[in-house]
Structure 1
Amino acid sequence: MIAEESWFDDEVTPAFFKSELDDGTGSITVWINSPGGDCFAAAQIYNLLLNYQGKVTVKIDGLAASAASVIAMAGDEILMSPVSMLMIHNPSTVAIGDTQDMQRAIGMLSEVKESIIGAYKQKSGLSHAKLASLMDEETWMNAEKAVELHFADRITSRQDLYPQGENEDPTNGESAVLNGKESKSLTETPMLFSRRKVAAAINKKLCDYAAACEAKTPAQTAEPITHRYKVKDLETRLDLIKHFI
């Protein structure tokens, strides 16, 4: 988790990150596996990496979601594991107060979203409208889709993990660079997941299913009346029943 301050000693804070960043010089590799957290803390870490003098390589080996995806955009090169995911969505907050307080909160969230779009746009080159739409829909991307949309540069291979030949590459170097264009895909199809689109698809399937069931159900027709009784006969039968109750 990314936070302004550490509460449980397992969060990544800007101060902690800066202390590690200042501990050495030269090229660095930032490994990311985070569900996100405080967007302002993430902005500080993003700027620390953006202003770092050496080369910054970002490797997403698990999840780069929400605020963590913003930090990833600061890399000079962004690599994703074949089984990693990247998620972007709108910023959120908790607000309390009157209508003016709510409007101020909405205005603040809108400005935060604009700043996040700036980081995504600088890396991906996608239009403002496209990025805003992807964030509105809470979009999840697998490695191939992230590369396709230019949120990442390429997918990691064994050669990236063992660049000095420490481990034999089973691909014999044939798939050293996996970018979806020059080499064989690691997954069958790129995956782009939108929560809003999934909800709409499920709703459509339910409506289609209900319509299909209604079409298959035969119309209910009244059963023909086959027995007719006179009122007098019915009264006689009721009188008879009364004697046994």
Structure 2
Amino acid sequence: MIYQPLFLSFNIAEKSSKHMIFGIKENTLTMYGTIWEYDGQDFVYYLNQLEAKYSEITIRMHTYGGSVFAGNLMCNAIERSNANITIIIDGLAASMGAVFILSSKNVKIVNNGYVMIHAPSSGSYGNAKDHESAAKLLRLMEQNFTDKLMLRTGKSKDEVMAWLDTDTWLSAQEALDLGLVSEVIPASVETVYPSFIPEEVGETEVFNMYAALLTSIPTPAVSLMKYSTPAVNAFMDFPTQQSQSQSNFNDDMKQLLITALALHTVNAQSSDTAVIGAIQQKINDLEAEKRTAETAKTTAEAKLKEYEDGRIKAIIDGAAAGLGKTFTEDERKTYETIGATSGVEALELVFKTVSKPQAPNISAAIQTGNQGAVTAGRESWDFAQWQKEDPKGLEKMATQEPEKFKNLFNAKYQ
């Protein structure tokens, strides 16, 4: 058994949701956050949507890394695309994010952005062979990344390996000089943090700094449109006649969800992540309530069956005592089947007809003028049809024409 959380970056922020945040507006796909296990499939889905409409596609990104396998799937999707794809680093391309940008020749970075390169890492447990297998996989991945970096930068293997041996931070200009990016562009956010050394801060804090800048929008009473940066616009697809169907979480949509689902922990001004989290919690709560109701239903049905089985057994035991005989196993099963399928009332009726010999019903014969009047015209009916069409007539037959009743009964249950 082996455990391999293959992330190019550990120390993942615990508060992050388990999905990268994707947004689409026109020909732009925005991807912010950690690359989690299933984000590769989501990325391919969104990219395919854009490829069906546009030949020029822009991907805006901000990530400090994540799943190697999901990241590789994303890289492969870009490399095989027929569209002309431009990647813009809005803040940080660290770890697997640095490998991701190598999938396109057209890569731009904001002038206060960073790229961070290091070797893949993972955790594992198991026996010696398990650890050796994990180590082999990491070496294969490291070689793959080394080859890509050598091809992109023209540097020697020793130089690239030196980058991978540690967390190698590159400013926008350094990334341009090495050929990792093709252009440095003005930042789409106003820098409010003082200068800092990324190596001393770490990729998580660098990510958080940029995330706070990129997703913060003033809250004036007037339209937010004039305050929006390009990065924010990619998430906030403001409603227009052409793009209403693509609208992401705006306040109206969030309020509709909050009202419809009775979410009490968020409001229309809460972040998208908070609303999504509240929705997921609501779903979890409803599923828990459903499981509780199903369990209660199963328990009630079991108790009801136990009660009915007890009544059936008591009726059969009472009939056996009244007849002064012991029913065979087959007889008991037949009577139990009658009680279970037709009800205890039908079972009681059966035992009334067999508990003592029946004398001819003279009064019935006098009243009807014919002892077989109950079944007249119904000779082809079986026991089930009598139960369905004329249960009272079946009761009369049991007392007035017991032999016919027994024949029908035996035909059904024996």
Same fold (TM over 0.5): yes
Q: How many Å separate the matches in 2 of 1:99 and 1:93?
A: 16
Q: For residue 158 of structure 2, what is the aligned residue in structure 1?
A: 129
Is the CA contact (8 Å cut-off) linking 1:85 and 1:140 kept in structure 2?
yes
Shift of 1:64: 0.3
Shift of 1:87: 0.4
Is the CA contact (8 Å cut-off) linking 2:105 and 2:182 kept in structure 1?
no
Q: For residue 18 of structure 2, what is the aligned residue in structure 1?
A: 8
Give the gaps of 5 or more residues in structure 1.
162-190, 196-245
| Aligned residue identity for 1:36 | G
Number of aligned positions between the proteins: 161
Is the CA contact (8 Å cut-off) linking 1:88 and 1:140 kept in structure 2?
yes
1:94 to 115, 118, 123: 123
Structure showing greater radius of gyration is 2
C-alpha spacing 1:10/1:153, structure 2 compared with 1 (3 Å): closer
Is the CA contact (8 Å cut-off) linking 1:141 and 1:192 kept in structure 2?
no
Partner deviation per Cα, 1:99-148 (whole Å, 9 max, x = no partner): 22222211111111011122222322222221111010210111011111
Is the CA contact (8 Å cut-off) linking 1:79 and 1:156 kept in structure 2?
yes
**Alignment of 1:34 onto 2:63:** yes
> Aligned to 1:79, what secondary structure does the other structure show?
strand
Question: Higher RCO, 1 or 2 (CA under 8 Å, sep at least 6)?
Answer: 1
Give the gaps of 5 or more residues in structure 2.
1-5, 8-15, 22-34, 189-196, 202-414
Structure number having the greater helix percentage: 2
**Alignment of 1:142 onto 2:171:** yes
Q: How many Å separate the matches in 1 of 2:80 and 2:58?
A: 15
C-alpha spacing 1:114/1:139, structure 2 compared with 1 (3 Å): same
Is the CA contact (8 Å cut-off) linking 1:26 and 1:54 kept in structure 2?
yes
Partner deviation per Cα, 1:53-81 (whole Å, 9 max, x = no partner): 01111111111000111111112211110
Q: How many Å separate the matches in 1 of 2:19 and 2:64?
A: 16
| Aligned residue identity for 1:26 | S
Q: How many Å separate the matches in 2 of 1:105 and 1:16?
A: 27
Runs of 4+ in 1 over 4 A off after TM superposition: 191-195
Shift of 1:193: 5.4
The root-mean-square deviation of aligned C-alpha atoms, in Å, is 2.7
Q: How many Å separate the matches in 2 of 1:194 and 1:115?
A: 28
Matches within 5 A, 1:111-130: 111-130=140-159
| Aligned residue identity for 1:8 | K
Is the CA contact (8 Å cut-off) linking 1:49 and 1:56 kept in structure 2?
yes
